[in-house]
Chain A
Amino acid sequence: MFEVRNLSKVYNSGVIHKASLKAVDDVTFSVDRGETVGIIGESGCGKTSLAKMVLKLLNSSSGSMYLNGEDVSSIRGEKLKSYRRKVQIIFQNPESSINPHMKIYDCIAEVLRINKLASRKSEDEKALINQLISMVGLQQEHLNRYSWELSGGQIQRVALSRVLALKPELLVADEPTSMLDVSVQAQVLTLLRSMQREQGFAMLFISHDLDVVRVMCDRVVVMFMGKIVESGTVDQVFSHPCHNYTKSLLEEYECLR
């Protein structure tokens, strides 16, 4: 359904002493409907740059992306708008992804208004929001609060409800639980899984927590220094790693048990 071919990103810096950094280097992978693909790799290996390119928050230096067979690497205007509706992201840091000046109700309503799913202050809007928050397991009372009055897990739920409102085809989860603690992490992960089963969206799950990836994903892609060094199903990669980096990653991970 979603495909990335030979995608690269080069960051240039400096005026006199020019330097360039290849953050993502010739990456190719695909995601199917209802499938979860995990991307693992050390910090700074280009996972987040890749996610931003998938969402077109960053322009790629070269390569192409396809959604449902259509080339989306150089779309603009209306087309980009509708692409962004289909491809959504949950960020790593829930606190900074939601406007602290807005009540939770307005945070969710904003998404509906921008995408013209309901008109401002209408009954439709209220009903839709109520439905959304009950889906992610929040109560009515939370709607009148501000983001700083909620816990990390609750904010992540709000972020998820904003995403689900648009019924995305692809959800990019950029370390959605790295800032949450174990018990809340379990809550958010099971919620993500059940929502995926319900709506059938594809998921690109970026994480460095191998435990989480093992539980959540069908297939795994291992990144190292901007390149994909290994990919395969979870069982394949975890039981028979081929690349040296994956091997050492798994060794360290077994040590920590």
Chain B
Amino acid sequence: MEKLLEIKNLCTHFDSRNGCVNAVCNVNMDIHRRQIIGLIGETGCGKSVLGQSVLKLLPKNACITGKILFEGKDILKMSVKELRAVRGHKIAFICQNPAEALNPLMKNGTQIMESVRINQALSKKECRETSIDLLNILGFSEPKAIMHKYPNELSGGMKQRVLAAMGMSGYPSLLIADEPTKGLDAIKRRQVIAMIRKFTETTGCAVLIITHDLKFASAICDTIAVMYAGEIVETGDMETLFNDPKHPYLMALIKSQPCKGLNVLNGTVCSLIDLPSNCRFFDRCSYATGVCKDQHPDLLTLNEAHRVRCLKYV
């Protein structure tokens, strides 16, 4: 398969008053065409920052190093003009908080049509039709009525789908979806899965899904990367990862699902400001040994597709 996006040694850190926050450390990742890749991990582990780094959507105090090659071109070295041609047209981003992402003073229809018009050269009438089609694909029963409403008249799940419509309007080759199922019930979640699948099949678009919903990730993704404290701790295809997790963090995460017994993983993630020099999961790990206390593990290749960052398997 052809590589669409290649992330090489990506580090993102923020300068804050309390010190340097290392949100993403040395991440390597390849995304191929038509691939659906899931990024899972705890809140504050750098998932969203990684997603935003790809489009350089971060605030000014962020410092991104490494390489992000999109169709052979480094995004980090692009000028503003070049970036504008990529954002929305080639890489689209569906952001996390639907309540804040929509303009409360504009009707939904106007907002969707605006993004359609920016991405495709169409007349106003055609724009309206395209927008209604998009809303139809996204499972709204009355798209015309939705177009005439304001965002505050919709529920959280509906706003999420309006945002998705805006993201898809440019038919991008890579879609980054940050928590697309947050606040959706089982039926809507199923629809989102079907919709993303259909979208990748028809347009050949690759999708990077950032989520903490393990069930959703297991239902939709081909490949999964697990992040912990800014690092990727395990990658592999979905089946192997969920049936045979290797990293203690992923094991604990799977066990803490309500349907798997609600076993609590105690403790919190280590601070991203002063990162420990040993294994970052050491404090919470039930398999920790003396070696883990002194050494920082590297990403270990177990087999071709499955890689894990744990000293247990050295």
Contact surface of A with B, Cβ cutoff 8 Å? 13, 40-44, 92, 151-154, 175, 178-187, 189-190, 208-212, 214-215, 248-249, 252-253, 255-257
A42 to B161, CA, bound (A): 14
**Interface presence of B157 (CB below 8 A):** yes
Contact B265 A41 (CB under 8 A): no
A179 near B182 with CB under 8 A, answer yes
CB of A249 within 8 A of CB of B183, answer no
Interface string of B211-250 (1 = CB under 8 A from A): 0111110010000000000000000000000000000000
| Contact residues in B for A183 (Cβ distance below 8 Å) | 42, 252-253, 256, 264-265
**Do A42 and B190 have beta carbons less than 8 Å apart?**
no
- In the complex, chain A residues whose CB is within 8 Å of the CB of B265: 183, 186-187
Q: Pick the contact of A182 from B157, B184, B253, B268 — CB < 8 Å?
A: B253
Neighbour of A44 across the interface among B42, B155, B256, CB < 8 A: B155
Residues of B with C-beta under 8 A to A249: 185-187
Contacts of B266 in A (CB 8 A): 187
Smallest CB separation, B260 vs chain A (Å) = 9
Instruction: Give the chain B neighbours of A184 by CB distance below 8 A.
Output: 42-43
Top 4 nearest A-B pairs (CB, nearest first) are A43-B157, A44-B155, A181-B212, A208-B185
Contact call B189/A256, Cβ cutoff below 8 A: yes
Minimal beta-carbon separation of B149 from chain A (angstroms): 9
13 A-B pairs in the complex with CB atoms less than 8 angstroms apart: A13-B153, A40-B185, A42-B157, A43-B185, A180-B43, A183-B264, A185-B258, A186-B257, A186-B265, A187-B264, A208-B183, A215-B262, A249-B185
- In Å, the complex CA distance between A39 and B43 comes to 26
Beyond A44-B154, A252-B190, whether A151 also contacts B185 by CB under 8 A is no
Nearest B residue (CB) for A191: B264
Most buried by B among A182, A185, A187, A189: A182
User: Hey, which chain A residues are within 8 Å of B136, CB to CB?
Assistant: none
Whole-angstrom distance between the alpha carbons of A213 and B154 in the complex?
24
Q: With contacts A178-B183, A210-B186, A256-B219 known, is A151 near B268, CB below 8 A?
A: yes
